[in-house]
Amino acid sequence: MTKDECKKLVTEIIADIAPDEDLSNLKPDVRLRDQLQLDSMDFLDIVMELRKCHGIEVPEADYIQLASLDSCAEYLTPKFNALEAKR
Amino acid sequence: MKQSRIVITGLGLTAPNGNTLAEYRQNLLTGVSGVELIELRYMGAQPAGVCHFDPLKYQKKKDVRIGTRAGSISIHCAREAAVDSGLNWEGFDKSRAGIYLGITEHGNVETENEIYNVSLFKHDMKFWSHHHNPRTVANNPAGEVSLNLGVTGPAYTLGAACAAGNLGLIHAAQMLRLHEVDLAFAGGVSESIGTFGIFAAFKSQGALASHPDPTKASRPFDKKRNGIVVSEGGCIYTMERLEDARARGARIYGEVGGYCVNSDATDYVLPNSVRQAECIRRAIAHAGLTPADIDIINTHATATPQGDIQECLAIGEVFAGCPDVNINNTKSFIGHAMGAAGALELAGNLPSFNDLTVHPTINVDELDPQCDLPGLVLNQPKKAKRVDAILNNSFGMLGINSTLIILRYRP
């Protein structure tokens, strides 16, 4: 998985969690909370979707890594690839 | 101290056969059922009353996703009621509004869904949703309305089994008379078609309706009735003190005449006609009326073999010697909307103050002789000589009875 593919996947998850939001102009380097109406429960939804749909665990101490699309990609892409390598 | 008169100034509803009062009433007068077959987890096809309103009319997609069906139903009804009332809602002091919603149960749907969800993950609890608690707290439907409407006054539910719809209105009248609030959103709500447990329990009890034609499954008073059709729905009224309603020139649907809530104290599920009769009689006395003053009795009858007979015994005793009273049943059209039943069934009859027509009980092909009350309006609507007082019965498990009387408004 590339970082761009990871950003696309996270954006798809956000589209389900925040279906009223326009995600067409998301800035990857800006905090998601500063661009979208997301609260802490929404971030828990992102964590749950990663767990349910992709088998990715995000420990609570690492939630901060999900702040922006760029930081998501930095943090999650190696996890996706490690998981893929195991399969 | 002279008590304030309490009036109904608006209403919003969603019923299996209508999303507005006009549509609902039209279908009640023309015999249109709202019962259809649904596919239920573990239970297969079951007749049920399903509402077809658009939740996105008043909610964002995200709120629909996070909230509950009961929340969506309640928001739809409350918003429609606010519009119907003609209130300047934006300018209203929202700390002086209260939300009082009757529920039979709440949380079964969401709990069953979560258990099913974690079963897909070998019951690993880390897959249990963090939304579970706000979805299942008993005040959820009222709380979702407060969030949506920005109401900062009291907002809670009243758990009263299937008597709950009446309880919402009764409690609102009391709170208005105590000047706890200046405006009440009051009624009842049900999302119960989403829980297989309620269907399964009624089936185990021998009280779940079945019929090859779902529109004929709910058949109170009919000899071949075989149980309850479970339904969802909601009906919320705006209620105010008369002086406030008059001051703003509100249209008035009717006035709270009297009410009673009592308990059987005899059985978990079996009704008690003696206590029901007592409830009806006390409500009539509370309204300062006699049985002969009642023009329409909207029955609670759910089409269980025993329940219908017990209510008929109670009504027969109280209204012996009242040949002009008209008796009908709304569940024959929409099934049993549980916590919403009392409020929805009252709404179906309120237009009778204007059109002097009593909607019938449908699906009565062969009247059970044990339910043969003189005033039953069967299968076809009937013109009434007079409609000045409507009496609404709603009874529930654990022996809770409620009777509410709404009067034609007279200045």
**B385–A contact, CB cutoff 8 A:** no
Closest CA to B351 of B387, B379, B382: B387
Supply the CATH number for residue A13's domain.
Answer: 1.10.1200.10
Mean local confidence (pLDDT), B132-160: 98
Tell which CATH architecture fits domain B6-247: 3-Layer(aba) Sandwich (3.40)
Cα(B123)–Cα(B374) distance, integer angstroms = 57
Return the pLDDT at A87. Answer: 79
Cα(B388)–Cα(B167) distance, integer angstroms = 22
**B266–A contact, CB cutoff 8 A:** no
Query: Is CATH 1.10.1740.10 the right assignment for the domain spanning B256-407?
Result: no
Cβ-based neighbour number of residue A31 at 10 Å: 14
Taking CA atoms, what residue in A is nearest to B128? A48
Mark which residues 42-71 of A lie under 8 Å from B by CB: 44-45, 48, 51-52
Please say if B162 is a catalytic residue: yes
Cα(B54)–Cα(B67) distance, integer angstroms = 15
- pLDDT higher than threshold 70 for residue B393: yes
- Chain B residues with CB-CB distance to A20 below 8 A: 60-62
| Cα-based distances in Å from B368 to B83, B226, B301, B328, B333 | 43, 12, 13, 15, 18
Please say if B300 is a catalytic residue: yes
**B126–A contact, CB cutoff 8 A:** yes
Q: Active-site residue among B51, B77, B162, B260?
A: B162
Please say if B211 is a catalytic residue: no
pTM for this one? 0.97
- pLDDT higher than threshold 90 for residue B229: yes
Q: Provide the residue range defining the domain that includes A46.
A: 3-86
**A18–B contact, CB cutoff 8 A:** yes
- Which tens digit of pLDDT belongs to each residue from B102-113? 999 999 999 999
Closest CA to B175 of B254, B284, B97: B97
Return the pLDDT at B369. Answer: 98
- pLDDT higher than threshold 70 for residue B31: yes
**B147–A contact, CB cutoff 8 A:** no
Asked whether the beta carbons of residue A17 and residue B62 sit closer than 8 angstroms, the reply is: yes
Return the pLDDT at A34. Answer: 96
- Chain A residues with CB-CB distance to B121 below 8 A: 52
3-class DSSP assignment, residue B72: helix
Nearest to A19 among B62, B127, B131 (CB): B62
Share of chain B above pLDDT 90, in %: 99
- Which tens digit of pLDDT belongs to each residue from B90-143? 999 999 999 999 999 999 999 999 999 999 999 999 999 999 999 999 999 999
Distance from CA of A70 to the nearest CA of B (A): 24
**A41–B contact, CB cutoff 8 A:** yes
- pLDDT higher than threshold 90 for residue B180: yes
- Which tens digit of pLDDT belongs to each residue from B297-352? 999 999 999 999 999 999 999 999 999 999 999 999 999 999 999 999 999 999 99
3-class DSSP assignment, residue B392: strand
- Which tens digit of pLDDT belongs to each residue from B346-369? 999 999 999 999 999 999 999 999
The partner residues of B402 in beta bridges, in order of sequence, read: B261, B394
Asked whether the beta carbons of residue A20 and residue B60 sit closer than 8 angstroms, the reply is: yes
Q: Active-site residue among B235, B300, B312, B359?
A: B300
Q: What are phi and psi of B10, to 5 degrees?
A: -170, 160
Share of chain B above pLDDT 70, in %: 100
pLDDT band at B224 (very low <50, low <70, confident <90, very high): very high
B44-49 and B230-231: which strand pairing?
parallel
- Chain B residues with CB-CB distance to A41 below 8 A: 66, 130-131
CB neighbour list of residue A41: distance below 8 Å, 6 or more residues apart: B66, B130, B131
| Cα-based distances in Å from B379 to B222, B369, B397, B401 | 11, 16, 28, 27
Return the pLDDT at B4. Answer: 96
Best residue in A42, A48, A56 for a mutation probing chain B (most B CBs within 10 Å): A48
Distance from CA of A22 to the nearest CA of B (A): 13
**H-only helix segments in B194-268:** 196-204, 242-247
pLDDT band at B1 (very low <50, low <70, confident <90, very high): low
Amino acid at B264: D
Cα(B196)–Cα(B182) distance, integer angstroms = 39
Contact B145, B78 (CB under 8 A): yes
Mean local confidence (pLDDT), B239-259: 98
Closest CA to B299 of B409, B221, B354: B221
Return the pLDDT at B2. Answer: 78
Cα(B238)–Cα(B229) distance, integer angstroms = 28
Nearest to B126 among A19, A45, A51 (CB): A51
Question: What residues of chain A score a pLDDT lower than 70?
Answer: none
Domain ranges in chain B? 6-247, 256-407
Contact B367, B38 (CB under 8 A): no
Total number of domains in chain A: 1
Cα(B187)–Cα(B342) distance, integer angstroms = 8
